[in-house]
Amino acid sequence: MAATDALSSPGDDDRFITAMSRVVAALPFGLDTRVAPTFVGFALINGSGFVLDLSLLTLLHSGFGLPLPVAFTAGYLTSFALSFFFNRRFNFRSHAPAGRQLAVYVVAVAINYAAFILGVADALAAAGLEYHLARVAAACCEGVYMYCALRWIVFR
């Protein structure tokens, strides 16, 4: 039995995308024709991952006193590892070989990390913005970038 089979039952990915389609269908102002169900799924998965990211950031920096770049990195890597699995399995429902996708994902995450985590978040924190707010600002930028990377490059 494959690892993904042990973690979910058959049809879980179908139920997930069906639920995301229902959310999109309920959107007002004609947004139901403009928003993809995968975008809503991405927002749910990565939003949950972001909560984990911020929790680890707080624990590691404020709780254990680790330097911000180390705390940013640990939270980031943990949330993006989970994001890959859940987006691949449930949101984009990919059946392509995971090895190639993981390699492309690692490149996308490395670019994202350098630009938004070490670049934007660390610069904003160094400029005096409270580190949680700096991380949230960086997350807004990275969310757009990562959705595009996942939808059109990693899981195309």
Q: For the chain, what percent of residues have pLDDT higher than 90?
A: 72
Mapped onto helix, strand or coil, the DSSP state of residue 155 is coil
Which ranges of 9-121 would DSSP assign to H, the alpha helix? 12-25, 37-58, 68-86, 98-112
**pLDDT at res. 2:** 47
**pLDDT at res. 139:** 87
**pLDDT at res. 131:** 87
Domain regions of the chain by residue span: 10-154
Predicted TM-score (pTM) of the model is: 0.79
Q: Which pair of structure tokens corresponds to residue 102? A: 């993981």
pLDDT beneath 70: ranges in the chain: 1-10
Which of these, 129, 120, 117, lies nearest to 77 by C-alpha position? 117
Q: How far apart are CA 104 and CA 68, in angstroms?
A: 27
Which of these, 3, 33, 4, 30, lies nearest to 21 by C-alpha position? 33
Sign, CA torsion 120/82/151/102: positive
